[in-house]
Amino acid sequence: MQDHSPDWDDRVLPFELKAADIRGRVARLDGVLSGVLAQHDYPPVVEALIAEMTLLTALIGQTIKLRWKLSLQVQSNGPVRMIATDYYGPDQDGHPARIRAYAGFDKDRLTSGAPIDQLGKGYFAVLIDQGEGMQPYQGITPLSQKSLAESAEAYFAQSEQLPTAFSLSFGKVTEPGQKEHWRGGGIMIQHMPKASPFVAQDEATGEDGLLSATDLVSGENEENWSRVNHHLNTVEELELIGPTVTPTTLLTRLFHEETPVIFDTQKVEFGCTCSEERVRQSLSIYSAKDIEKMTTDDGRVTADCQFCGAHYTLDPKTVGFDAISDS
C-alpha cells in the first residue's frame, strides 16, 4: 500500500477488509480540533468530550454524500447538558468536508471526575439532512455511561443493526515549535453482512438492554468480527495520533492478515455556515412584539453563533415576521 499524502493530519482514510466483509475508516485530527476548541474557553473535561465527539463525527461523516449534512447530538441531565457537532459533506469531489462543534454546560456543576462523568442520563442522536425537499433522518439511543464511542456503537447496533466498533485516542500534546494543543486519532470498523436479518430486541445483551455488535453476528461473520476486533484492540494510543506511524502503515500492522484495501482520503477542516442571512431566517418566525423584547437598550438586535463565536448586530426593523411580510 502506498501513502496518498505525506500529511495525514485532518484527513479520513477509508479502507476495506474484503475477506472479513468489514469496512472502516482511520481519522487523524489536529487543526480541526484547534479550530473547534479555540472558539470558546472550555474547561479541559469539556474539551475532552468535544474532542471525542468531533472525532466520532469525522469517522461517521465520511460516508455521507456530497452536500449532505450529518449532525451528532448529546442531550444530558449532567453538568454538560449538550454537545452538538455538524459535518458538511464536500461541495464537490476533491473539496474538504467541514466540521463544527460546541457544548453547553453548567460550570458550577462540573466535577473532578473523568470527562464521561460530566454526562448524566440522556440520549445520543444522529441526524442526516439530505438537502431541500428531502425528509431528514433521525435516530436516537440512550447515552452510554462508559464513553461517547460506546454510545455511537450502541446507536449503530440498535438503530441500524450494523456491528460497529471504535478505537479512539485524543488529548493535549506538545510538539517542537508548537504550543500545547489537542490531537486526536481513531479507527472505526463496521461489519457489512451480505444479508441483514432482523435481530429481535429480546436477544439484546448490551448496556441498558440495548442490542450490541456481538448480538448481530453469528457463524463465520462472528468469527471474522471477533478476529478483527482482537487486532483492533491491540492498537496503541501513539499509533492512533501519530505522527510517526502513517494510517496505511497502521492498517498493515493491525490487519495484515486481512490484506486491507485503501481508498482516497477525505480532507476535513473546521468550518461554520453561519451568516447574517441565516440569522435573519432564524428570526423570521418572531413577531414585531417578540423582536422588541430582543432589542437592546441601544436599539439593536444581536445574535452570536454558538459554533464559531461570530457576532451579528441587526436593525430590529429589518428582522422578524412583520419585516419580511412588509418587504
Can you give the CATH number for the domain in which 288 is found?
3.90.1280
> Do 65 and 96 sit in the same domain of this protein?
yes
Report the CATH number at residue 66.
3.55.30.10
**Quick one: pLDDT band at residue 204, thresholds 50, 70, 90?**
low
| Residue 318 vs residue 245, higher pLDDT | 245
What is the H or E stretch that residue 61 is in?
Answer: helix 44-61
Please report whether residue 5 resides in a domain: no
> Do 39 and 146 sit in the same domain of this protein?
yes
| Residue 63 vs residue 170, higher pLDDT | 170
> Do 288 and 222 sit in the same domain of this protein?
no
Is the pLDDT confidence value at 4 over 60?
no
Cα–chain center distance at 236: 22
Cα–chain center distance at 72: 6
> Do 226 and 245 sit in the same domain of this protein?
yes
Is the pLDDT confidence value at 94 over 90?
no
| Residue 306 vs residue 125, higher pLDDT | 125
> Do 111 and 34 sit in the same domain of this protein?
yes
CA distance 99 to 32: 7
Cα–chain center distance at 64: 12
Residue 103 Ramachandran class (φ > 0 left, ψ -120 to 50 alpha, else beta): beta
Cell matching residue 306: 454558538
pLDDT (tens digit per residue) in 139-171: 999 999 999 999 999 999 998 889 999 999 999
Q: Give the number of other Cβ atoms within 10 Å of residue 151's Cβ.
A: 25
Residue 217 near residue 247 (C-beta atoms within 8 A): no
pLDDT (tens digit per residue) in 273-311: 877 787 777 777 777 787 787 888 888 887 777 777 777
**Bridge partners of 26?**
13, 187
> Do 214 and 194 sit in the same domain of this protein?
yes
pLDDT (tens digit per residue) in 11-23: 999 999 998 999 9
**Quick one: pLDDT band at residue 6, thresholds 50, 70, 90?**
very low
Q: What is the mean pLDDT of residues 69-95?
A: 94
Residue 80 Ramachandran class (φ > 0 left, ψ -120 to 50 alpha, else beta): beta
CA distance 124 to 76: 9
Q: How long a stretch of residues is the chain?
A: 327
- Mean residue pLDDT across the chain: 87
Structural domain harbouring 234: 11-270
Is the pLDDT confidence value at 55 over 80?
yes
**Quick one: pLDDT band at residue 200, thresholds 50, 70, 90?**
low
Q: Give the number of other Cβ atoms within 10 Å of residue 25's Cβ.
A: 24
> Do 264 and 322 sit in the same domain of this protein?
no
> Do 192 and 307 sit in the same domain of this protein?
no
Work out how many domains the chain is built from and give that number.
2
